Chain A
Amino acid sequence: MKRQLIKGVALLSLAWGLVAGAVVPTLADTLDRIKERGKLVVGVKSDYKPWGFIDAAGNLAGMEIDMAHDVAQRLGVKLELIPVQTANRIEFLQQGKIDLIIATMSDNPKRRETVGIIEPLYYAGGTNALLRKGAGISSWQDVRGKKLCGTQGAYYNKRVAELYGAEIIAFAGNPEAMNALLGGNCIGFVQDSTFIGSTLASGDAKWADYEMTLPTEDEQGWGIAVPLAELNGPYGDFMRKMVTDWHRSGKLIDIERKWGIKPSPFLQTMNKMYR
């Protein structure tokens, strides 16, 4: 019994060592690797219409997918898209499963310690909530003690819970959270203002009884990301140039219009700044 226990402890410590000491694969020169392989692998959203979603034909489509295509084209390589979740995209990049994140990711200091967020940022959105009409919520203070659906891994869950005392029920993806909202499991869905805006603007009859009445808060820029080690290397430089060009040429504004997204003031400002 005792020997078994010692053996068990030894095994567990070994497991711990493996996990804790696991070396992140060397990701130096991703740019060379991409060109050599002839393929760029980008992590994109598949449940964030119209930034990244699955269209009627079953293909990934949307504003961010167009951006990914543009990067691949500029590099002269093929494009592979991998659908990612908010909660796993950073690990995918760290593990080298994807080369680039273009997945509605907000910029924040904690994330900057982990992945190489490219500046300039390419978009901006804030926190808001898709609310059931008649829920009696007219200010953020009114959500105290109320149930709000959310998406796991979203940075604003903690903020809304701590600042306004809402009870957040977070689901694996947007469709589950929206289904739970439609099923009456919560009075609202905490999300990015851009996403809610486009959901409401889609004209889908399901959302006729829902509204976005709260002021958008805590505006955050969205950044594409490369592995941290390469932020200041050739790969990071290439992506920085890419985003700057997008802003200068007004390409992002064009793509935004193409997908019927309400024009974002952020893109207008950036376009003026770089032109």
Chain B
Amino acid sequence: METVWEWFRWLDKAHGIDLSVFYDAGDRHRFLMGFLTTILLSMTCLVSSLAIGFIGAWAQQSRFRPARLAVGAFIQFFRNTPPLVQLYFFYFAIGGMLPKLADASGMASPMFGSFFWAAVSLSLFGGAFNIEIFRAGIEAVPRATIEAAESLGFSKGQIFRLVAFPLALRFSLRALNNNMVNLVKTTSLAYAIGVPELLYVSAQIWSDQLNTREMMTLLLFSYVGLVGAMVWGMHRLERALRMPGYGQ
């Protein structure tokens, strides 16, 4: 392994291609931690944005008008504002207003840190899109299928959970895939509030090593790899859930 690292040191000395994350143990550790933070933040946001999408789509079908209005307002708010502005809003405005707790040394500290706010803000952002994606999927469910379920005596809630949503999910996969790719890429904005994710650690490394070009390129390829792996998984899921007669 050491030989491989040494090869990158040689690459720097001989050709001026300075990939310090490979030969410098400190930079390597920083970059790895950044990668893990990006994965963790992405996972958190994906799971919670899907949950928000499900709950939102369900509430949109509700007979209770205020619930439908609330979902509409939520979508308008989070879909029509830039995610970076939302991050700043949550971290500086909301985070600053919440009551402070005393930390170990007795100083007043905010309840939540930057990772928490990034997760909240990006989940809501992704969730707003997911609601609309699920809605489109639900509307694509053939009317006859719903009527069949109704005639079998299913309640409205049962129809949503057992018939409409599973079919809608299948119809939504392609669009959902798009939105999830977008969400993973958007996690890079969390650097603005100091979440030590990939872009953040890369910026620190290129400030120290002045190897901006190399780090930018490595960063780009890291995202290609990360998003590529996710898309591959999603395509497998699409194939596994393929329903003959309902498109691919």
Contacts and interface: CB of A to CB of B under 8 A. Distances in A.
A180 to B, nearest CB: 7
B207 A154 contact: yes
Contacts of B108: 184
B66 interface: no
A103 B224 CA distance: 35
Nearest to B206: A87
B142 interface: no
- Interface size grouping (class) on chain B: 20 to 34
Interface string B95-108: 11000100001011
B210 A111 contact: yes
A158 B17 CA distance: 22
Contact of B107 (A15, A176, A184): A184
A22 interface: yes
B107 A134 contact: yes
A49 interface: no
Contacts of A172: 191-192
Given A20-B217, A162-B26, A169-B114, A87 B203 contact: yes
B194 A169 contact: yes
Contacts of A180: 91-92, 193-194
Given A152-B204, A153-B203, A12 B224 contact: yes
A86 interface: yes
B216 A86 contact: no
A247 interface: no
Interface in A226-261: none
A158 B191 CA distance: 17
Interface in B69-121: 91-92, 95-96, 100, 105, 107-110, 113-114
A179 interface: yes
Nearest to B208: A158
A187 interface: yes
A110 B208 CA distance: 8
Given A132-B107, A152-B203, A180-B194, A110 B210 contact: yes
A171 B84 CA distance: 13
A170 B200 contact: yes
B81 to A, nearest CB: 19
A271 B216 CA distance: 42
A201 interface: no
Given A171-B192, A180-B194, A155 B110 contact: no
B109 A110 contact: no
B222 interface: no
B161 interface: no
A91 B24 CA distance: 23
B213 interface: yes
B203 A184 contact: no
A114 B214 CA distance: 14
A185 B207 contact: no
B233 to A, nearest CB: 16
A265 interface: no
B212 interface: yes
A183 interface: yes
Contact of B109 (A136, A152, A184): A184
A32 B192 CA distance: 39
A86 B92 CA distance: 22
Interface string A142-158: 00001001001111011
A113 B212 CA distance: 13
A90 interface: yes
Give the one of A22, A157, A180 with max B CB within 10 A.
Answer: A180
Given A12-B221, A176-B192, 12 more contacts: A12-B224, A110-B208, A111-B210, A132-B107, A136-B105, A153-B207, A157-B207, A158-B204, A179-B92, A180-B193, A185-B114, A187-B107
23 contacts: A12-B224, A15-B220, A16-B217, A19-B217, A20-B17, A20-B213, A20-B217, A86-B207, A113-B210, A134-B107, A135-B105, A135-B107, A149-B194, A152-B203, A153-B203, A169-B194, A170-B200, A171-B194, A180-B193, A183-B95, A183-B96, A184-B108, A187-B107
**Can you list the 4 inter-chain pairs with the closest CB atoms, starting with the nearest?**
A153-B207, A169-B194, A183-B96, A114-B210
